[in-house]
Structure 1
Amino acid sequence: MAISPAVRQDLEKQLGKWASALDEVQLQWASGYLAGVAAARLDNLAPAEHAVHGEAAAPTLTIWYGSETGNGRGVAQRLAADAQARGFSVELASTADIKPRSIAKLDTLLLVMSTHGEGDPPEDAEALHKLVLSDRAPRLDNLKFAVFALGDSSYPDFCQTGRELDSRLEALGATRLMERVDVDVDFESAEDAWRPSLLEKVETVLKPGQAAPTGPHLQLIRDAESAVQRIDRRNPYDAEVLEISPLTVAPSTSPVHHVELLLEGSGLEWQPGDSLGLWPRNDARLVDEIIEVSGIDAEARVERGAETLEAREWLARRLELTQLVRPFLQAWAAAADSADLRALIDDPDRLAEWTAARQVIDVLHDFPARVDAATLVDMLRGISPRLYSIASSPLVADDEIHLTVKRVGGRDSRDRLRAGVASWQLTESVSPGDTLPVYVETNPRFRLPEDTDAPAIMIGPGTGVAPLRAFVQHRQALGASGANWLFFGARNRRTDFLYQLEWQRFRREGALDRLSVAFSRDQAERIYVQHRLRERGRDVFDWLERGAHVYVCGDGKRMAADVHQALADVIAEQGGRTPEQAAEYLDAMQQAKRYQKDVY
Structure 2
Amino acid sequence: MSSLIPETAPFNEDQRAWLNGFFSGLMGIQDGQNPNAVMGAAGLSGTTLPIPETAEEEDFPWHDDSLPIVDRMELADGKPIQRRLMAAMAQLDCGSCGYICQTYAEAIAAGDEGNLTLCSPGGKETKQMVKKLLKEEGGGGASANGKPASNGSTASNGFAASNGESASPFSRSNPYVASLIESRSLNQEGSAKDTRHVAIDLAGSGLQYEVGDALGVFPRNCGELVAQVIDRIGADSELPVTSPTGPKSLRVALSDDYCLKEPSDELLESVLGRATDAETKTTLTSFLEDGVPDGFDVLDVLELTDCSELTATEFLEALDPLNPRLYSIASSMKSVGDEVHLTVGKVVYEREGRVRKGVASTMLADRVTEGGTVRVFVQPNHGGFTVPSDPSTPMIMVGPGTGIAPFLAFLQERDAAKSPGDNWLLFGDQHEAFDFLYEKELKSYAESGLLSRLDTAFSRDGDVKVYVQDRMREQAAELWKWLESGAHFYVCGDASRMAADVDRALVSIVENEGQLSAAEAKAYIKKLVDDKRYVRDVY
TM-score class, shorter: 0.7 to 0.9
Q: Which of 134, 142, 152 is the matching residue for 2:117?
A: 152
- By how many angstroms is 1:528 displaced? 1.0
After superposition, the Cα gap between the structure-2 partners of 1:113 and 1:246, relative to the gap in structure 1 and judged at 3 Å, is farther
Q: What CA distance in whole angstroms lies between the structure 2 residues aligned with 1:558 and 1:226?
A: 32
Structure 1 equivalent of residue 57 of structure 2: 99
- By how many angstroms is 1:366 displaced? 3.7
Structure 1 equivalent of residue 237 of structure 2: 298
Q: What CA distance in whole angstroms lies between the structure 2 residues aligned with 1:224 and 1:553?
A: 20
Q: Provide the TM-score with structure 1 as the length reference.
A: 0.68
Q: Which of 47, 53, 63 is the matching residue for 2:18?
A: 53
Q: What CA distance in whole angstroms lies between the structure 2 residues aligned with 1:330 and 1:223?
A: 39
Structure 1 equivalent of residue 479 of structure 2: 540
- By how many angstroms is 1:330 displaced? 3.3
What pairs up with 1:258-337 in 2 under 5 angstroms?
A: 258-304=197-243, 307-337=246-276
Root-mean-square deviation (Å): 4.1
Q: Which of 232, 250, 257 is the matching residue for 2:189?
A: 250
- Answer yes or no: is 1:361 the counterpart of 2:299: yes
Structure 2 equivalent of residue 431 of structure 1: 369
What CA deviation, in whole Å up to 9, does each residue of 1:423-454 have, x standing for no partner?
A: 01100111111111111011132111101111
Q: Which amino acid aligns with 2:377?
A: Y
Q: 1:100 is paired with a residue of what secondary structure?
A: coil
Q: What CA distance in whole angstroms lies between the structure 2 residues aligned with 1:540 and 1:185?
A: 48
Q: Which amino acid aligns with 1:284?
A: G
Structure 2 equivalent of residue 121 of structure 1: 91
After superposition, the Cα gap between the structure-2 partners of 1:247 and 1:53, relative to the gap in structure 1 and judged at 3 Å, is same
Structure 1 equivalent of residue 434 of structure 2: 495
- By how many angstroms is 1:157 displaced? 3.1
- Answer yes or no: is 1:181 the counterpart of 2:141: yes
After superposition, the Cα gap between the structure-2 partners of 1:223 and 1:326, relative to the gap in structure 1 and judged at 3 Å, is closer
- Answer yes or no: is 1:230 the counterpart of 2:164: no
Q: Which of 544, 563, 586 is the matching residue for 2:525?
A: 586
After superposition, the Cα gap between the structure-2 partners of 1:266 and 1:375, relative to the gap in structure 1 and judged at 3 Å, is same
Q: What CA distance in whole angstroms lies between the structure 1 residues aligned with 2:125 and 2:90?
A: 12
Q: 1:336 is paired with a residue of what secondary structure?
A: coil
Q: 1:269 is paired with a residue of what secondary structure?
A: coil
- By how many angstroms is 1:473 displaced? 0.9
Q: What CA distance in whole angstroms lies between the structure 2 residues aligned with 1:589 and 1:347?
A: 44
Structure 2 equivalent of residue 133 of structure 1: none
Q: What CA distance in whole angstroms lies between the structure 2 residues aligned with 1:233 and 1:437?
A: 9
Q: 2:336 is paired with a residue of what secondary structure?
A: coil
What pairs up with 1:148-227 in 2 under 5 angstroms?
A: 151-152=116-117, 155-158=124-127, 180-181=140-141
Moved more, 147-156 or 532-541: 147-156
Q: What CA distance in whole angstroms lies between the structure 1 residues aligned with 2:436 and 2:327?
A: 19
- Answer yes or no: is 1:473 the counterpart of 2:412: yes
Q: What CA distance in whole angstroms lies between the structure 1 residues aligned with 2:174 and 2:390?
A: 35
Q: 1:523 is paired with a residue of what secondary structure?
A: coil
Q: What CA distance in whole angstroms lies between the structure 2 residues aligned with 1:227 and 1:255?
A: 32
- By how many angstroms is 1:382 displaced? 0.9
Residues 112 and 154, structure 2, Cα contact 8 Å, conserved in 1? no
Q: Which amino acid aligns with 1:155?
A: K
Moved more, 111-120 or 336-345: 111-120
What CA deviation, in whole Å up to 9, does each residue of 1:308-348 have, x standing for no partner?
A: 33222221111111333444333333333564455445557
After superposition, the Cα gap between the structure-2 partners of 1:123 and 1:235, relative to the gap in structure 1 and judged at 3 Å, is closer
Q: What CA distance in whole angstroms lies between the structure 1 residues aligned with 2:217 and 2:389?
A: 29
What CA deviation, in whole Å up to 9, does each residue of 1:509-537 have, x standing for no partner?
A: 11111111111111111211111111111
Q: Provide the TM-score with structure 2 as the length reference.
A: 0.75
Residues 142 and 148, structure 2, Cα contact 8 Å, conserved in 1? no
Q: What CA distance in whole angstroms lies between the structure 2 residues aligned with 1:355 and 1:384?
A: 20
Moved more, 150-159 or 561-570: 150-159
Residues 265 and 288, structure 2, Cα contact 8 Å, conserved in 1? no
After superposition, the Cα gap between the structure-2 partners of 1:573 and 1:331, relative to the gap in structure 1 and judged at 3 Å, is farther
5+ residue gaps in structure 1? 2-46, 60-94, 103-109, 131-144, 171-177, 196-221
Q: Which of 397, 406, 412 is the matching residue for 1:458?
A: 397
Q: 2:374 is paired with a residue of what secondary structure?
A: strand
Structure 1 equivalent of residue 106 of structure 2: none
Q: What CA distance in whole angstroms lies between the structure 2 residues aligned with 1:463 and 1:434?
A: 23
What CA deviation, in whole Å up to 9, does each residue of 1:144-175 have, x standing for no partner?
A: x95767742852333858998999xx9xxxxx
Structure 2 equivalent of residue 74 of structure 1: none
Moved more, 327-336 or 458-467: 327-336
After superposition, the Cα gap between the structure-2 partners of 1:575 and 1:337, relative to the gap in structure 1 and judged at 3 Å, is farther
Residues 115 and 162, structure 1, Cα contact 8 Å, conserved in 2? no
5+ residue gaps in structure 2? 2-10, 26-54, 61-79, 103-108
Residues 111 and 148, structure 1, Cα contact 8 Å, conserved in 2? no
What pairs up with 1:375-390 in 2 under 5 angstroms?
A: 375-390=314-329
After superposition, the Cα gap between the structure-2 partners of 1:571 and 1:355, relative to the gap in structure 1 and judged at 3 Å, is same
Residues 115 and 121, structure 1, Cα contact 8 Å, conserved in 2? no
Q: What CA distance in whole angstroms lies between the structure 2 residues aligned with 1:366 and 1:260?
A: 41
- By how many angstroms is 1:364 displaced? 2.1
Residues 491 and 499, structure 2, Cα contact 8 Å, conserved in 1? yes
Residues 390 and 403, structure 1, Cα contact 8 Å, conserved in 2? yes
Q: Which amino acid aligns with 1:563?
A: V
Q: 1:426 is paired with a residue of what secondary structure?
A: helix
Q: What CA distance in whole angstroms lies between the structure 1 residues aligned with 2:134 and 2:405?
A: 34
What CA deviation, in whole Å up to 9, does each residue of 1:560-579 have, x standing for no partner?
A: 11110000000011111122
After superposition, the Cα gap between the structure-2 partners of 1:595 and 1:436, relative to the gap in structure 1 and judged at 3 Å, is same
Q: Which of 439, 443, 461 is the matching residue for 2:381?
A: 443
What CA deviation, in whole Å up to 9, does each residue of 1:463-503 have, x standing for no partner?
A: 01101110111111111111111111111111111101111
Q: What CA distance in whole angstroms lies between the structure 1 residues aligned with 2:523 and 2:427?
A: 26
Aligned length: 459
What pairs up with 1:509-524 in 2 under 5 angstroms?
A: 509-524=448-463
- Answer yes or no: is 1:394 the counterpart of 2:333: yes
What CA deviation, in whole Å up to 9, does each residue of 1:544-595 have, x standing for no partner?
A: 1111101111101111111100000000111111222111111111100001
Q: Which amino acid aligns with 2:124?
A: Y
Residues 459 and 467, structure 2, Cα contact 8 Å, conserved in 1? yes
What CA deviation, in whole Å up to 9, does each residue of 1:51-97 have, x standing for no partner?
A: 472742699xxxxxxxxxxxxxxxxxxxxxxxxxxxxxxxxxxx9xx
Q: 2:420 is paired with a residue of what secondary structure?
A: coil
Q: What CA distance in whole angstroms lies between the structure 2 residues aligned with 1:349 and 1:451?
A: 52
Moved more, 472-481 or 149-158: 149-158
Q: What CA distance in whole angstroms lies between the structure 2 residues aligned with 1:224 and 1:286?
A: 38
Q: Which amino acid aligns with 2:514?
A: G
- By how many angstroms is 1:412 displaced? 7.1
- By how many angstroms is 1:413 displaced? 9.2
Q: What CA distance in whole angstroms lies between the structure 2 residues aligned with 1:575 and 1:493?
A: 33
Q: What CA distance in whole angstroms lies between the structure 1 residues aligned with 2:272 and 2:371?
A: 43
